[in-house]
């Protein structure tokens, strides 16, 4: 709540700045009423409810805030499932009902496009692993190596830096020829290699150096995938669907990360409950166990004997988490192959196409080619 209250003023400043500095020639193409009429409020609401309740139910159930059999968890999952179903029905209705002026939050045309849908799924899987590692690697360094919070965060720099490098290379590789599919496949392969090496070194080597090096390999693959997926969305989407296509890819990355963190929480707390919970012979109090369920770093405040027990459980669960991430990375590599085209459209042609349509007087779509242009410079 404190973080949210601090972020809100800056968000309002950003919104005001965008509104004030938005070019007049773009602003004057449509009035506020017309713009609002095109927003898919129903689709947005259903997507928000479905996403939040799904992650909420998994996270809170895994943290033992409520039992899995509690009405809150059950009803959250049920309502989430119903909202996902209604979202599909609503978007299908908008697709077939041509008289509707509403622009779908996720057009059905995107869902039936093989290349776009495959890149969307790859982005979801990439976010699943990437966001989880951003949390789990510093957490492991603090619990197992005794790093403080600052040092643990600094040790993420190799992975984050290589991710930025991969994002640059992903665009540069397709500057003259469309190699987005090949870039995506190579990126997924590097992710699988990197995460597999990270798993191996964490099981057989306690030094930090190899962990940082292998995480950099993984980060390079992540950057390549993020860049390639962004470009693929621009190439494969119709101009009317461009904003929705780009937004869906960005949302998939975040949603995948939230889902990955929730699954990692399930794995850790399940092992903790079995080995140190009631009936295990452990002398850990219920209150302390609840605190550890919410944050394993609570173990650092305990006496050395208890810390060793918790560390043993944590390292065991970390291995299982890495196996899960490796499996997801392998699945992502398989899906990435589905983006291959023997004769893909040039990236520059797609940019010119979107730019031409964006300049038409009656066009109301946001011009998104600037972000694509920055990727391929």
DSSP string, 331-377: HHHHHHGGG--SSPPPHHHHHHHHHHHHTSTT--SPP-HHHHHHHH-
Axis-axis angle for helices 180-204, 157-172 (nearest 10): 160
Whether residues 61 and 184 share a domain: the answer is no
- How many residues would you count in the chain? 377
Tokens at residue 374, please? 């920055």
Number of alpha helices (DSSP H) and beta strands (DSSP E) in the chain: 16, 0
Whether residues 144 and 194 share a domain: the answer is yes
DSSP-assigned states of every residue in 190-211: HHHHHHHHHHHHHHH---HHHH
Backbone angles phi, psi at 345, to 5 degrees: -70, 140
The burial class, CB within 10 Å (0-12 / 13-18 / 19+), for 330 is middle
Going by C-alpha positions, the residue among 95, 93, 198 that lies closest to residue 156 is: 198
Does some domain include residue 6? no
Q: The whole model's pTM is what?
A: 0.81
pLDDT at 334: 95
pLDDT at 83: 95
Whether residues 189 and 262 share a domain: the answer is yes
Does some domain include residue 13? no
Its sign, for the CA torsion 341, 186, 139, 202, is positive
CB contact set of 332 (below 8 Å; sequence gap of 6+) = 121, 122, 125, 126, 188, 191, 192
Whether residues 48 and 197 share a domain: the answer is no
pLDDT at 2: 46
What's the number of domains the chain is made of? 2
pLDDT at 323: 93
Helix residue ranges per DSSP H, 38-148: 41-62, 71-96, 108-111, 114-145
Whether residues 71 and 206 share a domain: the answer is no
For the domain that residue 160 is a member of, what is the CATH number? 1.20.1250.20
Per-residue pLDDT of the chain (377 residues; tens, 9 = 90+): 445 566 778 888 888 887 787 776 666 666 666 667 778 889 889 999 999 999 899 888 877 778 888 899 999 999 999 999 999 999 888 888 765 677 888 888 888 888 889 999 999 999 999 999 999 889 888 888 888 888 888 989 999 999 999 999 988 887 778 888 899 999 999 999 999 998 888 777 667 888 888 999 999 999 999 999 988 888 887 777 777 888 888 889 998 998 999 899 889 888 888 888 777 667 777 788 888 888 888 878 878 888 888 888 888 888 899 999 999 999 999 999 998 887 777 666 666 655 655 555 554 444 444 444 444 44
Range of the domain at 82: 31-105
Tokens at residue 332, please? 């992502």
Whether residues 137 and 247 share a domain: the answer is yes
Whether residues 161 and 97 share a domain: the answer is no
pLDDT at 349: 62
Find tokens 């809150």 and name the residue: 72
Residue 289 to residue 295: CA distance in whole angstroms: 10
Out of 54, 89, 105, a domain closes at: 105
């Amino acid at each position: 709540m404190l973080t949210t209250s601090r972020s809100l003023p800056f968000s309002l400043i950003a919104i005001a700045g965008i509104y004030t500095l938005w070019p007049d020639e773009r602003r004057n193409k449509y009035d506020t009423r017309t713009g609002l009429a095109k927003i898919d409020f129903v689709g947005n609401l259903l997507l928000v409810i479905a996403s939040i309740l799904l992650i909420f139910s998994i996270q809170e159930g895994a943290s033992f805030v409520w039992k899995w059999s509690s009405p809150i968890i059950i009803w959250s999952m049920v309502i989430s499932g119903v909202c996902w179903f209604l979202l599909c029905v609503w978007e299908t209705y908008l697709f077939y009902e041509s008289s509707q002026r509403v622009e779908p939050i996720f057009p059905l045309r995107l869902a039936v496009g093989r290349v776009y849908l495959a890149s969307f799924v790859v982005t979801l899987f990439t976010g699943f692993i990437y966001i989880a590692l951003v949390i789990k690697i510093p957490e492991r360094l603090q619990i197992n190596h005794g790093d403080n919070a600052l040092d643990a965060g600094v040790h993420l720099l190799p992975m984050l830096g290589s991710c930025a490098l991969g994002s640059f290379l992903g665009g540069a590789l397709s500057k003259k020829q469309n190699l987005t599919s090949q870039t995506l496949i190579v990126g997924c392969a590097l992710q699988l290699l990197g995460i597999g090496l990270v798993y191996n070194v964490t099981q057989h080597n306690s030094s930090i150096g190899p962990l940082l090096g292998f995480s950099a390999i993984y980060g390079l693959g992540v950057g390549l995938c993020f860049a390639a997926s962004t470009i693929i969305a621009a190439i494969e989407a119709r101009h009317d669907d461009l904003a929705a296509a780009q937004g869906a890819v960005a949302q998939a990355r975040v949603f995948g990360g939230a889902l990955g963190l929730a699954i990692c929480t399930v794995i850790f707390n399940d092992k903790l409950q079995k080995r140190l919970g009631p009936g295990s012979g452990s002398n850990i109090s219920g209150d302390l166990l609840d605190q550890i369920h919410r944050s394993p770093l609570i173990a650092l405040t305990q006496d050395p004997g208890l810390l060793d027990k918790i560390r043993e459980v944590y390292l065991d669960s970390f291995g299982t988490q890495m196996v899960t991430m490796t499996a997801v990375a392998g699945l992502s590599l398989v899906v990435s192959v589905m983006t291959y085209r023997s004769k893909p459209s040039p990236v520059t042609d797609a940019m010119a196409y979107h730019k031409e349509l964006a300049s038409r007087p009656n066009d109301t779509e946001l011009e998104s080619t600037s972000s694509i242009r920055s990727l391929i410079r």
